[in-house]
Structure 1
Amino acid sequence: MYEKGQLLPHPQATVSSSRQRSLWTSLVQVAAVCVLLKISVFDAFIVPRLRNDDSEILAKCEQVEPLFPKGNPALSKMDDYIASPKFLNETVSRMAAAIQIPSESYDDLGPVGEDKRWDIMFDFAAYLEKTFPLIHGTLSLEKVNTHGLLYTWQGSDEKLKPTVLMAHQDVVPVAESTVGQWTHPPYSGFFDGRYIWGRGSSDCKNNLVGIMEAVELLIDAGFQPARTLILSFGFDEEISGAQGAGNLSKALTSRYGKDGAALIVDEGAGMSTVWGSTFALPGVGEKGYIDAEIIVRMPGGHSSVPPAHNGIGVMSELVSLIEANPYEPRLYSDNPFLSLLQCGAAHSPEFPSKLRKLLPSHGSQTCSKKDKLALEAAKSGDIVKYLFTTSVAPDVISGGVKVNALPERVRVLVNHRVNVGERPADVQVKLTKLAQQVARKYNLTVHAFNDESESPLSITLNTHQILEPAPVTPTSVDAVTPYAILSGTTRAIYGEKLLMAPGITTGNTDTRYYWDLTKHIFRYGPSWDGESEGLGGIHTVDEKLSIPAHIKGVQWYSLFIRNIDQADLE
C-alpha cells in the first residue's frame, strides 16, 4: 500500500483472549486502515446490554451467516490439503523464493524500458511462471506496460461480471544503513518455524503468492469458474502505482466498461480487537489527498542590512498560521468509521456509554454545528482522529542559497489527507484565506491555484498532487451483495464470533486507479492467525509473516473465489 508505513493493519489478539492490551498500541500497529475506537479510560459503569428499543442500532450492523460454497469431493480434498503440514512446507518454500527477489521500487525510477532498475521485475515474473505452471497453462497472461501482470481465467457465463483480485509485485527498498539491524537478512526468506522473514513478506507478496496458490489449487482440483476471474498485479504501488496499476486499470476498463467488474479485493485492512469484540475491517473507503506548494517571493539583498521580515520569516508566519488553524473532526454520514461505531454500539459489551449516547442524535446536527460525536471520538488520540479529520502537514521547506544573502524565494510543500465528506477544493479555499491574511500584513500579492506565474512580492499557491476521497463501497447485506459474500466468507474461515464492520484507510492503494471499474472495492488482508501482533515490520526492519496466518489467507481466497462464483449478485 502506497505510504502505508503505519497504515496496513495486521493480526491482533484472539477473539477469546483474556489478555487486555491498549487499543491505541494496537491501532498504532494496525495504523488506521482498520482502526477501531476505545476510550483509554472506560466509563465508571458497565454499558448495559442492548434493550428492546435498540433494534434500530442492531439493524445498522447486521451480521451475515458463515458462507460455504457447494462443493465436490475434489474440492473438499483440496481444502484438507491446504490445512496439511505438506502444504505448509510448500508454501514456506514458495514465499521464501518470492522474498529472495529484491523487487524494489524507487521514487526516482525513470521510464520502464529505460531505467535498468525495473529489470528485476523480469525475474519475479519468471519466478511466477516456474512456480505456478497450471495457472500459466490455463489462464491467459497479458503484460501491460512490460511488467504489469494481467491474468484472466475466462468464465463459462459471459453475462456475469468478473471478479478482480489485486496485489503488487514491488517492495519498498531496504536502506543499506539498516541491513545489520535485521534479525535475519532482509532478502533471505528465513523461516523460524512460525514466521518467514524478509522485505515484502507481509507487504504484499503474501497476498500475491496466496492468490496464486489458491488459483493453482483450484485448477488442480478441476474447478471451472462460471464468473471470469482476473488477477491484476501492479509493479510500482510503493511509488504511487502510475505506471503499473494506472495502465492495468485502463486496460480492464477499456475491456469491460464502466462498472464492468463485480468487485475488487486488494491489499488493506485486517482484524483488530476492541470493546470486547474482534472485528474484521475491510477498507471500503480512502481519504483524499492534496499536496499544496506555497512560494513566497520577497526582495533579496545583503544580510548585513536585513528587513524586519524576509521571505523565510514571512513563510514561517504562514506555516505557523496554517498549523494554528487545523481542521475539526467531523463524521459525515458516508464515513465508514461512523458505521464502525454503530457496529460497536450494536454488538460490543464494552462500547463507551458517552459515544453510545451521542450516536442516535448524530445525524440531526447541522453543518454549522460542531460534531459532538466526532469530537468525543477524537479524544482517543490522533491515530483515530485522523480517520475523520483532514490532516495538514508541512513536510518540505527550502529557501535561500547563501548565508550572507537574503532569500528571494522560499518554498514549502504541505501534505493534506482529505476527510471523507470533504474535498481537496475545501483545502484550497482555506489555504487561500490564510495566505491572504499574511499577504495583507506584508503588502504581498496572492496567486492562488490559478496557474499564474510567480511575481516579485507575492505568495503563490500551486497544487502538485490531488485525489478526491474514494467513493465509499456499499455495505448492505439486505440482499446478495459483494460485501455480504466477503463477510460470509470471512466468518466461514474465522467463526461466528468474528464481527464484520466497514473500515477506512488514510493512505491509498492501487485501487485509486480502479474507481470506474466497479463500485465494490475492498481493501482487505484476510491473513490472520488469531495470535500474531503488529505490522510485521512493514516498511521497516524485520518485516515478517506468520505462516499460519498466510495459510488462512490462502483458504480465504480459495473459498471466496468459489463463493463469489456461485453468488447471484444483484
Structure 2
Amino acid sequence: MDTSIRTLFRYRELRKTTINTYGLVYHWQGSNPDLKPLLLTAHQDVVPVEPLTVDTWLYPPFSGTWDGKWIWGRGSCDDKPGLIGSLTAIEKLLEKGFKPQRTIVLAFGIDEERGGIVGGTGIRDYLLSAYGPNAFALLIDEGGTLEAHSDGVIATPAVAEKGHFDLRMSISTPGGHSSVPPEHTSIGILAALIAELEANPFTPHLYRNEPYFTALQCQALVDPEMDDELRDLIGKARYSDKALADLEERLFRNPLSRALAGTTQATDIVHGGVKTNALPENAFAIVNHRIAGHSSVSTVKTHIAAVLLPIVKKFNLSLDAFGESLNGELSQKTSGHLKLSDAWGTALEPAPVTPWLKNPAYDLLAGTILNVVKTSARWNNPDIPVIVAPGTMTGNTDTRYYWNLTQNIFRYGHVSRFDKYNGAHTVNEAILADAFIDLIRFFTIVILNADESKIL
C-alpha cells in the first residue's frame, strides 16, 4: 500500500474539524474520558518573502530543501517545526498502534502572523463550545527555546507573554504653499513627538516573583560564559534590595535585558505629505509597544500622555489622548491637533502567568525536556546538566486567544538559536535537521508522558 494512503488510513482515527475554511482541529479520542485532554497548537501561515531578496536565498525560499544538514525555506523557523513536528509525532504513534488514554487535540491557526484575528479567534470559539472553559490539562504552542553550552543546557519554556499596544499619533495642521511655511510643519511636530518618546523610554525593573528573575537565577547555575561578578550579584539579589538595584544597573546596559524585563517601544511607521510644494496637513506615526507583565495597557497610555504633554504645550496643540481632552494651558487659537489612539484596536493586556512552582503541568513539561535532552544523540551525554527555567515571550502568539481553555499555557519550541541558520522572518531561513528530529522526539515524549501521568 502506498505510504500516503497508509497515512491517510491511520489519520481516520482522528476527527478533523475545519475552522474558517483553513484552520484545522484534530481530535484523537482517549480511552479515559475523566482525563483532561492535551492541547498542542501551532500556526500554518508564514510571513511573505520580499521579492527583491529572492535571489539572495541559497535555496528557493519555498522549496523546503534539505541539503543533508539544514532544512531551508520560509517558515522553517516559524512555525513549520511546531506544525509538522507535532503531526509527525502523531503519525509515528499511530504507526506504532498507540492508543491514548488521554484525549489529544491538535489546533492549527491560519493567520498568527497578522494577529490570529480569523484563525485564533475561530479556534478559540470552537474549542470553548466543544470542550468548555478550562477543559485542557495543558497547552503547548510555539515559543521558548533552549541554549546549549558545552557545560550544560538551559531551557526556557515561556510561562508568560507580553502585552501589546500600537500607538497612533495623528497630527493635523493648516495647509498652504511651501513657499510660506510656518516655523514647524506637521511632520516637524511629529518628529519632535517621536524624539520625546524615545528620550523617555519605559523604565525596566526586576521583580523577584517574575519569570525573568527566576530564569536569571537558573542561568547563573550553569552558564559557563557568565562572569563570576555577575553570577554573585544574581545570587545576592534574591534577598538584598541593594544587590537587586545593582543587578538592574548592570543588566540594563544590555538592550536585550531591558527588552526582556520591561515595556518596549519602537516607532515603526511614519507617513506624511503628498507633494514638495504643499504643506502637509496630516501626518501620523505608529509606535509599537510590548508591555511587561507587571504593567498594563492603561499604564502605557498614561505614560505616553504624560511624556507628550509638554510637547503639546510647546507647539500649542489641542489634544485628544485616547478619547480624553488634555489640552492644559493652551491659547484659544491652537496651531494644530494631536490625536493619540489605538492604531488598529488590537490592544492586548499581558497574559496571565502560568504557575511554575508546585505546578504538576510545569513539572511534567520540565521532566520531558530533561529526558529529551539527556537521551539526545546530539549531545550523547546523559550526565549533561540541564536547567529548565520559566521564560517570557516578548512577541505574541495565538495563545492570546486561549487563556480560558487552560491555566497551563506553555510556549516552547525545543530549538536553540544555534539550530537556526539565519533566524526567522529573514533571508536564508533554515533549521538544523538534527534539531528538528529532537523536536519531533519532544512532541512524542510529551504525549506519552501526559498519557501516563498521574499528576495532571
Which TM-score bucket, shorter chain as reference? Answer: 0.7 to 0.9
Tell me the CA shift for residue 191 of structure 1.
Answer: 2.1
Q: Which amino acid aligns with 1:555?
A: R
Alignment CA distance shift 1:434-1:370 (3 Å): farther
Matched residue type, 2:350: P
Q: 1:106-125: per-residue Cα shift (whole Å, max 9, x none)?
A: xxxxxxxxxxxxxxxxxxxx
* Correspondent of 1:517 among 386, 405, 409: 405
Pair 1:497 & 2:385 matched = yes
Residue 111 of structure 1 corresponds to: none
Distance in 2 (CA, whole Å) between partners of 1:224 and 1:351 is 49
The equivalent of 1:377 in structure 2 is 251
Matched, 1:246 2:121: yes
Q: Distance in 2 between matches of 1:287 and 1:387?
A: 9
Relative distance call for 1:143 and 1:222 in structure 2 (3 A) is: same
Task: Find out whether 1:429 has 2:302 as its counterpart.
Answer: yes
Matches within 5 A, 1:64-103: none
Match in the other structure for 1:59: none
Corresponding residue number in structure 2 for 1:487: 366
- Work out whether residues 171 and 336 of structure 2, in 8 Å CA contact, stay in contact via their aligned partners in 1: yes
SS at match of 2:400: helix
Q: Which has the higher strand share?
A: 2
Question: Secondary structure of 2:261's match?
Answer: coil
Which residue of the partner structure matches residue 394 of structure 2?
506
User: In the alignment, what sits opposite 1:100?
Assistant: none
Does structure 1 retain, via aligned residues, the 8 Å contact 2:267–2:286? yes
| CA pair 202-314 structure 1, distance change in 2 beyond 3 A | closer
Look up the match of 1:300: 175
Q: Taking structure 1 as reference, are residues 441 and 505 closer, same or farther at Cα in structure 2, changes over 3 Å only?
A: same
Query: % of aligned pairs identical?
Result: 38
3-state DSSP of counterpart to 1:430: helix
What is the CA distance between 1:241 and its match in structure 2? 1.4
SS in 2 for 1:344: helix
Equivalence map 1:121-520=2 (5 Å): 132-273=7-148, 277-348=152-223, 350=226, 352-354=228-230, 356-357=232-233, 359-361=235-237, 371-379=245-253, 381-450=254-323, 457-464=336-343, 465-476=346-357, 478=358, 481-495=360-374, 497-520=385-408
| Structure-1 residue corresponding to 2:429 | 543
Q: 1:207 to 1:290 in 2, by over 3 A?
A: same
In the alignment, what sits opposite 1:10? Answer: none
Shift of residue 384 of structure 1?
Answer: 2.4
Query: Secondary structure of the equivalent of 1:466?
Result: coil
1:270–1:526 CA contact under 8 A, matched in 2: yes
Aligned residue for 1:41?
Answer: none
What is the distance in 2 between the residues matched to 1:314 and 1:202? Answer: 40
Q: Which amino acid counterpart does residue 43 of structure 2 have in structure 1?
A: H
**Are 1:333 and 1:363, in contact at CA under 8 Å, matched by a contact in 2?**
no
CA change 1:400–1:543 in 2 (3 A) is closer
Q: CA RMSD in A?
A: 2.7
> Kindly tell me: are residues 549 and 130 of structure 1, through their superposed partners in 2, closer, same or farther at Cα, counting changes over 3 Å?
farther
* SS of residue in 1 equivalent to 2:55: helix
Distance 1:440 1:378, change over 3 A: same
Contact 2:419–2:435, Cα closer than 8 Å, also in 1 = no
Deviation, structure 1 residue 130: 5.9
Cα distance in structure 1, aligned partners of 2:181 and 2:294? 46
Deviation at 1:535, TM superposition (A): 5.0
More deviation in 457-466 or 275-284?
Answer: 275-284
Q: 1:135, 1:215 within 8 Å by CA — same for their partners in 2?
A: no
State the Cα distance separating 1:370 from its structure 2 match.
Answer: 9.2
Alpha-carbon contact 1:134-1:220 (below 8 Å) kept: no
Write the deviation string for residues 315-360 of structure 1: whole angstroms up to 9, x where unpaired.
Answer: 2211111111011121234432111111133455646434533554
- With structure 1 as the length reference, what TM-score do the two structures score? 0.71
C-alpha distance in 2, partners of 1:365/1:497?
30
Residues 217 and 414 (structure 1), Cα distance of their counterparts in 2 relative to 1, 3 Å cut = same
8 Å Cα contact 2:190/2:283 also seen in 1: yes
In the alignment, the residues of structure 1 paired with residue 32 and residue 120 of structure 2 have an alpha-carbon distance, to the nearest angstrom, of: 27
- Pick closer, same or farther for the CA change 1:305–1:438 going to 2, 3 Å: same
Give the direction of change, closer, same or farther, for the CA distance of 1:300–1:537 in structure 2 (3 Å limit).
Answer: same
Question: Are 1:148 and 1:233, in contact at CA under 8 Å, matched by a contact in 2?
Answer: yes
Q: Label 1:470 to 1:539 Cα distance change in 2 as closer, same or farther (>3 A).
A: same
Maintained 8 Å contact 1:275/1:344 = no
TM-score in terms of structure 2 length: 0.88
- 1:131/1:168 Cα in 2 relative to 1: closer, same or farther (>3 Å)? farther
Q: Distance in 2 between matches of 1:391 and 1:355?
A: 26
Q: Deviations over 1:49-71 (max 9, x none)?
A: xxxxxxxxxxxxxxxxxxxxxxx
Amino acid at match of 1:406: L
- What is the Cα deviation at residue 424 of structure 1? 1.7
Cα distance between partner residues in 2 of 1:427 and 1:359: 31
CA distance in structure 2 between the aligned counterparts of 1:190 and 1:443, rounded to whole angstroms: 59
Return the alpha-carbon distance in structure 1 between the equivalents of residues 30 and 259 of structure 2: 42
Maintained 8 Å contact 2:153/2:222: no
Amino acid at match of 2:347: I
| Bigger Cα displacement from structure 2, 509-518 vs 536-545 | 536-545
Which range moves more in the overlay, 225-234 or 170-179? 170-179
Partner of 1:149, secondary structure, is strand
Q: Tell me the SS of whatever aligns to 2:40.
A: strand
